[in-house]
Amino acid sequence: MKYQYEATRSSARAGSRVKKFMRQSQLFTRTQKEAPKDEVSLNAQLLIRAGFIHKELAGVYAYMPLGLRVLEKIKKIVREEMNAVGGQEVMMTTLQPKDIWEKTDRWDDAKVDNWFKTKLVNGTELGVGLTHEEPIVDAISNYLSSYKDMPFAVYQIQNKFRNELRAKGGLLRGREFVMKDMYTFSRSQEEHEQEYEKIIEAYKRVFDRLGIGNITYRTYADGGIFTPRFSDEWQTICDNGEDVIYVDESRKVAINKEIMSDDNLNKLGLKREDLIEKRGSEAGNTFHLESKYTDALGLYYTDEKSEKQSIIMGCYGIGISRLMGVIAELFADEKGLVWPEAVAPFKVHLLKLKGKSENSEVDQIADKLYAELSAAGVEVLYDDREVSAGEKFADADLIGLPYRLVVSEKSLKAGGVELKKRSEANSEIITPEAAMKKLA
C-alpha cells in the first residue's frame, strides 16, 4: 500500500529547521542496561541508564543533551510564573565575600555547617554560593533608598553548592544543584505578607503545570538558618522522599515531622486526628526573612516623612534539578521513565523499523513524518539507528517520551503507522496524516 503523503510548502523549506531536532543516530549518549552499583536512588538509576545525566561523584551530576532539555523546560515554566508576578531576573556570583556573611553572623561553620569555602592566592577567604540573601542585599543597596522603590522582587536560576553529609538521593539531595531563588523587598509587614501570598499562588501554578500540583503540599516547617518563623516547604508526596510529613487533606496543607508538637499544632490551627502520615520530597521552600538581613547590612529606606525604616524581605526557593528528580521518581514504571509532556525532552519518539528487507516506503514515510512534525514545531527524537526492533522499543520505554510513533512493514500492512502513548498500554494504527493531526 502506497501513501501519497506530501509535504506542505513550509516543510519543504524546513531542511535547516529539522536540524534543531534530533536523530538518535547522532546522539552521542547511549542507554545502559544497569546503573552504577553505588547509585541507590531510583531517579538517578533511571536517568543515568537513559542517558539523561552522568554521575561525577555522590551528589554531583552532569546533564547530557536529553537531561538538559528537561532541565530547561522546568526552568521555562518557573521563569514564566516568576515573571508573571513581577519578578526581575538577575544572575549573581557563585564566589561570595566573607565580610557580608560575618555581618549577618552566618560565616562561622558552627552557625552554618554545610558551606563549601575556598581562598584566593593571597589568602582571602571566599564562600561558594549556597544561598544569596547577603549578596542580593549588598547589590540592591546601590539602588534602593526611597519608599517609592518598593515593593519589588528579584530572582535568579543558577547552580548552588552545599556540603551535604548525605548525598545518596540522586537529584533529590545534591552537593551541586540548580535552584531558583527569589527575594522580595517590602515597606511593611502587611505589604510583605501580600507579596508573599502572591508568590505562593505562583508556586501552586508551577507545580500544577509540572503535573504534580495535586500531590504537592504547602508544609509548615522549621525556618532553620533563615528565620525564627515557620517556613513553608513544598513537599511532593513520594515513596522515596526523605521527609515525613503529616497532611491535612481537607485544607491541602501539611506539617513536617520535625516540628510536630501539640504547641505547634495549636499555633497552626491543625488537629492531630485530621493528619495523615506520608513521605515527601521537598520541591521548594519559602521563608519570611523580616528585616534580619537588611538591618544587618545597613540597608534601610526613607518613608514619606523622611524617616528611616527597616525593609522587610522574603525568600522563595525552587529546586529545579530536584524537581527533575522528583518527576523521574514519580512518573516511572517497570520499563523506565514516563515524562509528562510539559517537561519531556521531546514530545514524540519516532521509530523506523525496516525489518530484514530494504523497504524504501518505510524510509520515505518515516523521513517525511520527521520533516513534517519538525516543521510543525513538534519536538521529535527520530530513532533512525541500524539496531534491532527490540532494542529500539526497550530504549523508547526507558527514555519515556510521551508518544511513540512507529513506521514499519508490519504497521504499513495493517493500514498505516502505530501510535502509542507512553502512559497507556494500547496502541493504534492510523494513517500518517491522522498521526500528524493528533501530534501537531
Over residues 261-268, the mean pLDDT reads 94
pLDDT in tens, 155-211: 999 999 999 877 888 999 899 999 999 999 999 999 999 999 999 999 999 999 999
146, three cell numbers: 526611597
How sure is the predictor about 284, in pLDDT bands with cuts at 50, 70 and 90? very high
CATH number given to 42-333: 3.30.930.10
Q: Report the distance separating Cα 259 and Cα 160, nearest Å.
A: 26
User: How far apart (Å, rounded) are the C-alpha atoms in residues 136 and 319?
Assistant: 19
Least confident of 162-171, 313-322, 361-370, 404-413: 162-171
Omega before 402 cis (within 30°)?
no
pLDDT (tens digit per residue) in 7-60 = 343 444 444 443 457 999 999 999 999 988 889 899 999 999 999 999 999 899
The per-residue pLDDT of the chain, averaged, comes to: 92
How high is the pLDDT of residue 358? 67
Asked if residue 275 lies in contact with residue 246, where contact means CB atoms within 8 angstroms, the answer is yes
What are the cell numbers at 46?
533511571
Q: What is the pLDDT of residue 355?
A: 64
Residue 101 in this model has a pLDDT that exceeds 80: yes
Looking at the chain, the domain(s) classified CATH 3.40.50.800 span 9-21+346-439
Residue type, 297: L
Domain with residues 9-21+346-439, CATH architecture: 3-Layer(aba) Sandwich (3.40)
Q: How far apart are CA 13 and CA 429, in angstroms?
A: 29
For residue 221, what is the DSSP state? Answer: E
Q: Between vectors from CA 145 to CA 143 and to CA 151, what angle results, nearest 5°?
A: 85
Return the pLDDT at 357: 62
Tell me if 143 sits within 8 A of 174, measured CB to CB. no
- Asked if residue 175 lies in contact with residue 162, where contact means CB atoms within 8 angstroms, the answer is yes
pLDDT of 229 reads 83
What is the location of CATH 3.30.930.10 in the chain? 42-333
Longest dimension (CA), the chain: 86
What band does 302 get if pLDDT is binned at 50, 70 and 90? very high
If 0-12 CB within 10 Å is exposed, 13-18 middle and 19+ buried, where does residue 123 land?
exposed
Where does residue 421 rank: exposed (0-12), middle (13-18), buried (19+ CB within 10 A)? middle
Task: Enter the C-alpha cell of residue 158.
Answer: 543558577
The mean pLDDT of 385-397, rounded to a whole number, is 96
Other Cβ atoms closer than 10 A to 411: 21
Query: What gap in Å lies between CA 182 and CA 91, rounded to an integer?
Result: 11
- 334 vs 81: CA distance, rounded Å: 33
Length of the chain: 440
Residue 204's H or E segment, with its range, is: helix 189-209
